[in-house]
Amino acid sequence: MPSIPASPLDPAGRPRLLFTDLDGSLLDHHGYDWSPARDCLARLKELGVPVIPVTSKTRSEVVPLRRELGIEEAPFIAENGALAGLPPAWCHARLDRGAAADGLVIRTLGVDIGLIRKRLWVWRERLGVRFTTMSEMPLDDLVAFTGLSEPQARLARLREGSEPLLWEDSDDGLARFREGLEGDGLRLVRGGRFWHVTGDCHKGSAVAWLIERFQALRGSRPQTLALGDGPNDIPMLETVDQAVVIRGCHGLAVSPKQPALYRSEATGPAGWAEGVAHWWGRADRRPGPAVRHASSDGARRETA
Ligand SMILES: [Mg+2]
């Protein structure tokens, strides 16, 4: 079994934060099983290291999942960066009011779903392109396509800030569609199963927002690790200090501009545990020297 972290702090004494994609990463791509990561997750919980899901899933899907995974004390990012869920310890006393019954404050980081849907219909008609949004798919089709149970599939359709869709047209049509959406300030990103249309936000911008929030509340810079398997994880993998690309089941290239990058041998949750052990195992690898480079959205940043 791979070694797992020995300390909540990195060798430089910084508190650790872990950001993770769910489908195909912490959860198995086919069966949504996470048992190969169970020991590692339990150890991180014992150490008090926040494990923060950063997913294309909806809030309604993530809330029960984080209970099952035992990570309710950590915040989460849903719908590819469109919204953040903050537990009390991550809330700013003045800025974050209006907690729901479960104690979570929800912050919208992108664009309202109503506007996104309106623009999707406009571009479909104007360009004459074919696609099916998740909200248009018959429930049976969604169940068959995703492997989710029927109740889970219902939760997956409760979108608040992004719309997944299946593209059924040419690459050329896709390029024109993307261009149209960009003119509206919307983004089109590739996930493991669907294309996702969101506001001007992505997993990387949401993770940067949370890191900033952590620093503001705690007064210390964390050491950050992120794990993901899909192209939509690239901005997140480029935003953190250390990253893991988990071997995917989708055949899509995932090549973040990240000098401290590890590629797992195993897929899904086994690759997840392998990646955490690689960076935070007993040997505690340090990332390389500080380098400057451009991230995918063109912003300059520094990797320690
Ligand atoms: Mg994934």
For the chain, which domains are there? 14-110+202-281 (3.40.50.1000), 113-199 (3.30.980.20)
Could you tell me the distance, in angstroms and rounded to a whole number, from the CA of residue 90 to the centre of ligand 1?
A: 25
Could you tell me the distance, in angstroms and rounded to a whole number, from the CA of residue 191 to the centre of ligand 1?
A: 7
Average pLDDT over residues 150-179: 94
Average pLDDT over residues 12-31: 91
Phi, psi (rounded to 5 degrees) for 92 = -90, 125
Average pLDDT over residues 159-164: 92
Evaluate if residue 88 carries a pLDDT over 70. Answer: yes
**What element of type H or E holds 14?**
none
Average pLDDT over residues 158-186: 95
Evaluate if residue 294 carries a pLDDT over 60. Answer: no
Two tokens at 105?
Answer: 């404050």
Q: For residue 289, what pLDDT is reported?
A: 42
pLDDT in tens, 43-81: 999 999 999 999 989 999 999 999 999 999 999 999 999
Q: For residue 301, what pLDDT is reported?
A: 37
Choosing from 21, 23, 28, 233, the catalytic residue is 21
Could you tell me the distance, in angstroms and rounded to a whole number, from the CA of residue 26 to the centre of ligand 1?
A: 9
Q: Which of 97-106, 113-122, 170-179, 255-264 has the lowest mean pLDDT?
A: 97-106
Could you tell me the distance, in angstroms and rounded to a whole number, from the CA of residue 53 to the centre of ligand 1?
A: 11
CA distance 30 to 22: 12
CA distance 109 to 82: 5
Could you tell me the distance, in angstroms and rounded to a whole number, from the CA of residue 34 to the centre of ligand 1?
A: 13
> SS3 for 85?
strand
Could you tell me the distance, in angstroms and rounded to a whole number, from the CA of residue 94 to the centre of ligand 1?
A: 34
User: Which of 175, 185, 73 lies closest to 119, judged by CA?
Assistant: 185
Q: Is 23 a catalytic residue?
A: no
Q: For residue 30, what pLDDT is reported?
A: 77
User: Which of 33, 9, 17, 15 lies closest to 271, judged by CA?
Assistant: 33
Evaluate if residue 299 carries a pLDDT over 60. Answer: no
Evaluate if residue 150 carries a pLDDT over 50. Answer: yes
Q: For residue 138, what pLDDT is reported?
A: 95
Evaluate if residue 182 carries a pLDDT over 80. Answer: yes
More confident position, 40 or 11:
40
User: Which of 293, 281, 162 lies closest to 238, judged by CA?
Assistant: 293
> Dihedral of CA 27/32/37/38: which sign?
positive
Strand-pairing partners, residue 17, are: 224
Evaluate if residue 302 carries a pLDDT over 60. Answer: no
Q: Which of 9-18, 97-106, 118-127, 292-301 has the lowest mean pLDDT?
A: 292-301
Give pTM, 2 decimals. 0.83
Evaluate if residue 2 carries a pLDDT over 60. Answer: no
pLDDT band at 97 (very low <50, low <70, confident <90, very high): confident
CA distance 202 to 187: 8
Q: For residue 282, what pLDDT is reported?
A: 64
